[in-house]
Structure 1
Amino acid sequence: MAHLPNLIIDLAIILGTAAVTTLLFKWLKQPLVLGYILAGVLVGPKFSLFPTISDPETIRIWADIGVIVLLFSLGLEFNIKKLVKVGGTASMTGAFEISAMILLGYLTGMALGWSTMDSIFLGGIVSISSTTIIIRAFDELGIKTQQFAGIVFGVLVIEDIAAVLLLVLLSTLAVSNQFFSAEMLVAIMKLGFFLVIWFLGGIFLVPSLLRSGRKFITDETLLIVSLALCLLMVVFATSVGFSPALGAFIMGSILAGTIYAERIETLLTSIKDLFGAVFFVSVGMLIDPELLVQYAGPIALITVVVILGKAVNVTLGALIVGQPLKQSIQTGMSLAQIGEFSFIIAALGLNLKVTSAFLYPIAVGVSALTAFTTPYMIRASGSICTWVESKLSSRTRLFLTSYSSGAQTIGSVSDWYQLVREHLQIMIVNTAVILGIILISSRWLLPIITAEVVGKPYDGILAGFLSFFLMTPFLWALVLKRINRPVYTRLWTERKSYRGPLVTLAVTRGLLGLGLILLFLQQFFSVSLLLFVLVIAGGIWLVVGKRLPFIYDLIEKRFLVNLNARQIYQENRMGRNLLPWDAHLSYFEVSAESPGAGFTLSELALREKYGVNVISIARGSMTMLVPGRNERLFPGDKIAVIGTDQQLEHFISLIETQTKEKAQSTPTQEISLQKMAVDESFPFIGESIRNSGIREKTQGLIVGIERQGTRILNPDSTTFFLAGDVIWLAGNTKLIKEFQRENQLRAVK
């Protein structure tokens, strides 16, 4: 009989057991992750009733690959633009909740008598919610179109980023064993620097690489190339002292900005499912059932801490940033669980041997209990909101309503703030790029030149001049690039008090550039060669100096093209909120069985019957913004609709089948909700919406007016604009922003 490797036997045991348990959990309508964990318990060394795997170390290697693939897949769902579009509401809510839960978890661990390191890791474990569990619950409950779901998804993005950063910081903490230490500060600065370098370099190089080879890209080559890029970044991240998970996440987020992101996600699905299953089974293998029984009390306590702590802290965070009470409570109760990232954080402490053995099974037990309670928490959020409102005094309710409305008023960005922000941006970006060039040249290029090209002392001279040639465009931009000339000129000529700060900004940029030049010289040249080097460098600058703006503009344009290559709104499942109103954008696909298919918008009378407005219709590669009354709906059309939660729920029955499957793709043209103030610069004060011609100018609709505390949703076209109004405009983002800029220019004049 031929010898069969232990790995194949172990995989047969793992996948066979997982197949049975996942089918059982699918039948029970529970997360499959819990089925995988149960399979791991059954085939683990602590459970003798079933066959036990013989080579745990090999399975652990597969589990490590599973973590890499999971983080790579997570990165594919995230990109820089998505982070920008999350907005202040979700960002501040997520930051408040994560900070509060880390502190609460730490205090809970200390109250249980655990060690400081166990308590710190518990804080990280309880701070991250489960994206998988929430998406499953939202799908089953059919509430993806509701307004609060958009904030939930935004908070999940912030939590995912925080989880990746926690992996790095907790690893450093485990080594230094001090939270406030020089090592931790260095680690944070090092992490920030490498993140900037990786994202800037990755966004500039990777999409360009894929674009240059697009003629040869098939599904097979795309899968191999993307996995190769992932593993190369994992190797690179590990070589500079970071975790493999961070490298995988970064490469995934870089590829998320390319036009191939959806194809890569589809191709990676089977691989992710396979290695993800092995990872979660390995999670279960580390669980000792006796420990679960022994620590049943702490598991119950931490479960209560997670459910109540997350519900309360997310609700408070949302209220602080100006969300209405109902929406805040719904958001908080949706995020009251922990999941897959908690396992990874717990496994990190176990692998580094800095946490106790009981922490890992406790994290899994709490995750299982909170996953079970999540759907019930979401369902109960409406009733709890009603109960809370009944307990509040009329004065408190009025205060919350006024605060929510006031937090959403339009704030104008001052010229000075705008100019400082742009200066900081160009200083940070170009400083990071120059430091990256110096680092790469001194650590990698110089040794190669020394070993393969020329020896000392010419190796430093050659490497130095190559580095100087590469960094000159960025050095020019850092020191000499004119930033926002109209604003700069206006501040200099009209506001003399700003001349001192403007000169200070210019001097700061010059000193920063000088410091980088001195660092560069120190890395490559001796003092005896300094004068010679400065003369040669000056000659190079004189020769190429006039072309530096052109070269930098080419680099900047290529970067922006790559950054904007994938024009999708990952958050568009919920659209942007019309806050603090209940109305918001949502997207639907007209099904073949839709009762509304084949009828014109006027025949359907959507506004009269359902109270909603159709903002756009995407049909194939064509998108119609603000379609006319005679436009028909056809099967396959993807439409953007604005309305309240109740209106959209009522509207679904007309457009979609009973399965209520939402369209995952979005219109090819960018549409959004924008708000603006009707002030002295607004050209249509006293005119009606119809006569203003705003619809034609912006390809948009006035979908809301806030007037002296009164909100008019979907106002009639005969409504007049009055001074002091705040209007909400839905339509073509580019045209709306141009219209806003025109108003700002009128105000200046």
Structure 2
Amino acid sequence: MLEDFRLIVDLVSVLAAAAVGGVLAGLCRQPALLGYILGGMVVGPAGLGLLKELLQIETLAQFGAAFLLFALGVEFSFAEIKKVQGVALGGAALQIVLTIAVTVVLCGTIGAWDDLPAKGVFLGAILSLSSTAVVLKCLMERNETSTPQGQIMLGILVVQDLALGLMLAVLPALNQPPEAIGMAIGQALVKIGLFAAGAIVVGIWVIPRLLRLLAKTESRELFLLGVVTLCLSIALLTEHLGLSIEMGAFVAGLMISEVEYADQTLTYVEPLRDIFAALFFATVGILIDPVFLWQNLELILGLVALVFLGKFLIVTPIVMLFRYPLKTAITVGLGLAQIGEFSFVLASEGRSLGLVSRRIYLLILGTTAVTLILTPFILQLAPQLFKWAEGVPLLKPYFAPGELPKEVATGDVVENHVVVCGYGRVGRNLVQLLQEHKYPVVVIDQSEAAIQKLREAKVGYVYGNAASLYVLEKAGVNKAKSLVITLPDPVGSRLALKRALEIQPSLDVVVRAYQNRDIELFYQLGAREVVQPEFEASLELTSHVLKRYGMPVSAVAGEMQQIRNSHYLDLRPERSPAEITRDLKLAIEGLNGKWYTLPGDSPLVGMSIEEANIRWLTGVSLVAIQRETGEQIDYPTAETKLDAGDRCLVVGAVPEQSAFNQLVKGEVAVPASTTPCQWLQITAGSPAIGKTLSELHLRREYGVQVQAIRRDGRFIRFPDGTADLQAGDQLLWCGGSYTLNQLREWISPTPPLAKLDVPVIKVAVSEALEEFLPLDSQRENRL
């Protein structure tokens, strides 16, 4: 074969292997970059040996690293990082320093290298970096990029990527005498400072004008060509200054990130970035020797365990030092415990400088690759770990989201108000619209930045975790008319919904769903309405088009409402039963789920879920049924009948599950399907206060039975006659409608809690979401 075509053939081979590996990784629900690495291993010298021009391939792969960091710089948001700037800057710096220090001490203790600390510093620098690509991919798949743990991880990762430039600048001095290292660090800092000053000047006065000139040509090709030239020119400048191509590309992205053309730039560059990034990760795989990995498997697995444990023990206390909850700190520690993809860049540079032997270099590559592969699995197991910890009495106080509110400022808003969980962009718009309609509002948020905005706007707030019973009680959920949940964390949203209904079972709750699999679960948990932004965008756009075609406004509104009433079923992609079951398992992560079998003599046999009134009587939510025939019903409807031998998956707290078990076994009476049940609250001045249920003679004289009592966020299931009544208790009464109405006037002199009309809140939520509706792919990508 002609040598002129050898590079083309090699390049096609690498890209094809990366594509196949990426597809296989996608089918296994793993990040595509893991498939790229495995594809590179297959066609590399240690695999099939298909490549000849390896040096040229590695050179092209540098473009992948450069475009990765360039796109990261364009996407970089100073506003988002500012929310966690303390732990992002201070925590990341402390983590890097501690990792290097621990590595130096450990290497010195075991005598790994003779010429310490230089090589120990080099290894520590490699270990200190975590994977931006893998962690970001996992956070996006779990929709956790806006959660506290997601923001902390991304903030630390960005600082680590910035530190890479300093590490690459100092690296050449590590093979010099120790006294030269301090001089090299000083020179590197001076270079970086001068370069940063120049970048700021160019970013303010040159870049905007250049991009504006390119945009005026109205040519996509010229705009892309200009942006790529700008990126690579700055990257080559930093390489000439002795910093790194990667650092220059990142700075070029930062210079564009604050310009009005940032979205357009990112849209044009993303395809190019993805291709070269695939090439970069495939090249990483090419460098890995699978035979060497197998021959040193025990050593590499030991190093992997040491890396995970060591970085976890370093990162977790640092996050806690910045006063974040233990659960958040552990999640961040697990998420950052791997070695990052840019450690390959550092390791390759160190090998060329003679800092490591080939054996040590291959050990570094193998350990890094294994940690990247394991990270998605570890993050998936974290919710199960927390669920187990919450079930252990000694650990529950540390892991259960029951922390007290840090600050409460609700003013005169104590009843008949709307509680909004989450004061992000949607929450702010929602609060503004509700205030325009003169509805009193209390907001729950655990971000200091959000609370400061609420203070300035003089909006009632509770500073704390919306999934906490104590926080919800402080927000007055028991006296609220409605609850709107706009939290970015799906697990937090589920817990907030579940616990709010524990406090007030008849509360109208509207929830924003980020993922399709959450829609049905939110309804099962008791939400009155679930809003999915993308589906709402489709409905609004369709409504506009249908009206323009002359369809009557009432007919359009009716059709759109019918789709909403069906839980967007017409818009959701069709899924197989296996996919629905898998999504159900993912959706109930973080919630207490347990299977119960209905015995043949259970009073629930033959009743529908609506007739059994399971949620009102016990507080649990029935989310799946397995028939004896093998049929599985995920998210059963209210009309679903229960049969003998059914295995029921219920979600609820331990006391709620215990009450359900009593109900299933017939240990307590189940009201007939025609018997109405109603929650009534004992208000101050009620003659029932201080009396026991037996003293009231409710069953004998009125034919009414109290099935449950809610008191201070606790459920008293199926109370006996010795239960005394207190002011504020909520009682579930079952009996005749006429009798219940008479008892209401006697037990609760004031009218029962009213409910805000759900369509009012639904409209407010929809209007609040309009700013973020994906009207075009550019906005959707930036969101």
TM-score range, shorter chain: 0.5 to 0.7
| 2:463 aligned residue | none
CA contact (8 A) 2:166 2:188 kept: no
Which secondary structure state, in structure 1, belongs to the residue aligned with residue 369 of structure 2?
helix
Give the partner amino acid of 2:516: Q
Asked whether the 8 Å contact 2:40–2:284 carries over to 1, the reply is: yes
Corresponding residue of 1:36: 36
1:658 aligns with 2:477: no
- Rg larger in structure: 2
Q: CA deviation at 1:250?
A: 1.1
The 1-side partners of 2:374 and 2:441 are apart by 38
> Partner of 2:29: helix, strand, or coil?
coil
8 Å Cα contact 2:422-2:445 kept in structure 1: no
CA–CA separation in structure 2 for the residues paired with 1:41 and 1:66: 17
Counterpart in the other structure of 2:378: 377
Secondary structure of the structure 2 residue equivalent to 1:307: helix
After TM superposition, list the pairs within 5 Å mapping 1:345-360 onto structure 2.
345-360=346-361
- Cα distance in 2 for residues equivalent to 1:16 and 1:378: 29
Residue of structure 1 in register with 2:679 after alignment: none
Do the aligned partners of residues 218 and 83 (structure 1) sit closer, same or farther apart at CA in structure 2, a change above 3 Å counting?
Answer: farther
Q: What are the equivalent positions in structure 2 for 1:239-278 lying under 5 Å apart? A: 239-278=240-279
Contact 1:94 1:158 survives alignment (8 Å): yes
CA gap of 1:339–1:660, structure 2 versus 1, over 3 A, is farther
Q: Is the 8 A contact 1:37 1:284 kept in 2?
A: yes
Cα distance in 2 for partners of 1:643, 1:271 equals 30
Aligned pairs for 1:487-506 within 5 A: none
Please provide the CA RMSD for this pair.
4.5
- Structure 1 Cα separation of the partners of residues 19 and 487 of structure 2: 43
1-side partners of 2:4 and 2:510: how far apart? 55
1:311 aligns with 2:156: no
Distance in structure 2 (CA, Å) of the matches to 1:660 and 1:269: 30
| TM-superposed deviation, 1:269 | 1.6
Question: Which amino acid is 2:308 matched to?
Answer: I
Following superposition, the deviation at residue 6 of structure 1 comes to 0.8
The corresponding residue for 1:324 is 325
Other-structure match for 2:493: 648
Q: Which amino acid aligns with 1:247?
A: G
Report whether the alignment pairs 1:69 with 2:72.
no
- Offset of residue 600 of structure 1: 9.3
Distance 2:458 2:489 in 1: 20
Contact 1:322-1:405 at 8 Å conserved across structures = no
Flag the structure with more relative contact order, 1 or 2, with Cα contacts below 8 A and sequence separation at least 6. Answer: 1
User: Which residue does 2:174 correspond to in 1?
Assistant: 173
Cα separation, 2, equivalents of 1:396 and 1:175: 48
Amino acid across the alignment from 1:56: L
Q: CA deviation at 1:647?
A: 5.5
1:310, 1:169 → 2: CA distance?
Answer: 23
Report the more deviating stretch, 200-209 or 314-323.
Answer: 200-209
Q: CA–CA distance in 2 between the matches of 1:197 and 1:56?
A: 36
| Structure with higher helix content | 1
**Pairwise CA distance, 1:643:** 8.6
How far off its partner does 1:51 sit?
4.9
Q: Is the 8 A contact 1:118 1:356 kept in 2?
A: no
After superposition, the Cα gap between the structure-2 partners of 1:660 and 1:160, relative to the gap in structure 1 and judged at 3 Å, is: farther
Q: Secondary structure at the match of 2:516?
A: coil
Cα 1:62–1:301 shift into 2, 3 Å: same
Question: Residue 312 of structure 2 contacts residue 336 of structure 2 at CA under 8 Å; is this kept in 1?
Answer: yes
Structure 1 residues 256, 126: CA separation in 2 closer, same or farther (over 3 Å shift)? same
| Aligned twin of 2:100 | 102
The answer to whether the 8 A contact 1:145-1:645 is kept is no
CA distance in 1, matches of 2:378, 2:316: 13
Q: Distance in 1 between matches of 2:232 and 2:62?
A: 12
Q: Say if 2:126 is the partner of 1:128.
A: no
Q: Which residue is 1:484 aligned to?
A: none
Work out whether residues 311 and 335 of structure 1, in 8 Å CA contact, stay in contact via their aligned partners in 2: yes
Tell me the CA shift for residue 299 of structure 1: 1.9
State the distance in 1 between where 2:30 and 2:488 align.
32
Identity %: 29
Q: Which runs of 5+ in 2 are unaligned?
A: 410-419, 447-456, 460-483, 498-508, 520-531, 535-767, 769-783
What is the aligned partner in structure 2 of residue 52 from structure 1?
A: 50
Q: 1:46 to 1:321 in 2, by over 3 A?
A: same
Alpha-carbon offset, residue 379 of structure 1: 4.1
- What's the offset of the Cα at 1:67? 2.3
Quote the Cα distance in structure 2 between the aligned partners of 1:108 and 1:250. Answer: 34
Instruction: Output the CA distance in 2 between the equivalents of 1:2 and 1:376.
Output: 45
Residue 144 of structure 2 contacts residue 489 of structure 2 at CA under 8 Å; is this kept in 1? no
Alignment of 1:69-218 (within 5 A): 69-78=67-76, 84-110=82-108, 111=110, 113-114=112-113, 116=116, 117-174=118-175, 180-212=181-213, 214-218=215-219
- 1:587/1:641 contact within 8 Å kept: no
Matches of 2:155 and 2:272 in 1, distance apart? 27
In 2, Cα distance between the equivalents of 1:195 and 1:3?
43
**In 2, are the aligned partners of 1:77 and 1:256 still within 8 Å (CA)?**
yes
3-state DSSP of counterpart to 2:85: helix
Q: Secondary structure at the match of 1:181?
A: helix
Q: Judge conservation of contact 2:91–2:318 (CA < 8 Å) in 1.
A: yes
The letter for the 2-side match of 1:70 is L
Is the Cα contact below 8 Å between 2:485 and 2:510 reproduced in 1?
Answer: no
**Structure 2 CA distance, aligned partners of 1:652 and 1:147?**
22
Which runs of 5 or more residues in structure 1 are unaligned?
410-581, 590-595, 614-623, 627-638, 665-731, 733-749
Report the CA distance shift for 1:393/1:133 in structure 2 as closer, same or farther (over 3 A): closer
1:295 maps to 296
* Matched AA of 1:648: S
What secondary structure, in the 3-state scheme, does the structure 2 residue paired with 1:322 have?
A: coil
TM-superposed deviation, 1:210: 2.3
2:485–2:512: 8 Å Cα contact kept in structure 1? no
Deviation per residue, 1:361-399 (Å, 9 max, x gap): 33333233323433443344456557778697999999x
Letter in 1 for 2:152: I
TM-score of the superposed pair, with normalisation by structure 2: 0.51
Tell me how many residue pairs correspond in the alignment. 457
Q: Give the equivalent residue in structure 1 for 2:221.
A: 220
Distance 1:396 1:136, change over 3 A: closer
For residue 23 of structure 2, what is the amino acid of its counterpart?
L
**Alpha-carbon distance change, 647 to 9 in structure 1, aligned in 2, over 3 angstroms:** closer
Mapping 1:439-518, distance limit 5 Å: none
Residues 1:177 and 1:29: Cα distance change in structure 2 (over 3 Å):
farther
Alignment check: 8 A CA contact 1:97 1:314 kept: yes
Q: What amino acid maps onto 1:38 in structure 2? A: L
Contact 1:302–1:366 under 8 Å retained in 2: yes
Q: Which residue of 1 aligns with 2:27?
A: 27
Quote the offset at 1:316 in angstroms.
0.6
**Contact residue 131 and residue 342 of structure 2 kept, 8 A:** yes
1-side partners of 2:175 and 2:378: how far apart? 35
Asked whether 1:15 is paired with 2:15, we answer yes
Partner in structure 1 of residue 778 of structure 2:
none
Closer, same or farther: CA 164–215 of 1 in aligned 2, 3 Å? same
Report the Cα distance in structure 2 between the residues aligned to 1:96 and 1:245, rounded to whole angstroms.
23
Q: Where do 1:587-602 residues align within 5 Å? A: none
Q: In the alignment, residue 35 of structure 1 is paired with which amino acid?
A: G
Query: Quick one: distance in 1 between partners of 2:153 and 2:227?
Result: 29
Which whole-Å CA distance do the structure 2 matches of 1:652 and 1:55 have between them?
59
Distance 1:176 1:37, change over 3 A: farther
Residue 206 of structure 1, CA deviation = 1.1
Whole-Å separation in 2 of the counterparts to 1:183 and 1:655 = 52
SS at 1:52 equivalent:
coil
Cα gap change, 1:360/1:278 in structure 2, threshold over 3 Å: closer, same or farther?
Answer: farther
CA contact 1:128–1:159 (8 Å) conserved in 2: yes
TM-aligned CA deviation for residue 218 of structure 1: 3.4
Per-residue CA shift, 1:125-177, capped at 9, x if unaligned? 22111122122222333444543222222222222222232222224434666
Cα distance change on mapping 1:374 and 1:240 into 2, 3 Å = closer
2:343 is matched with: 342
Q: Give the residue type in structure 2 aligned to 1:7.
A: L
Q: Structure 1 residues 268, 239: CA separation in 2 closer, same or farther (over 3 Å shift)? A: same
Residues 383 and 283 from structure 1, CA distance in 2 versus in 1: closer, same or farther, beyond 3 angstroms? closer
- CA separation in 1, counterparts of 2:396 and 2:276? 55
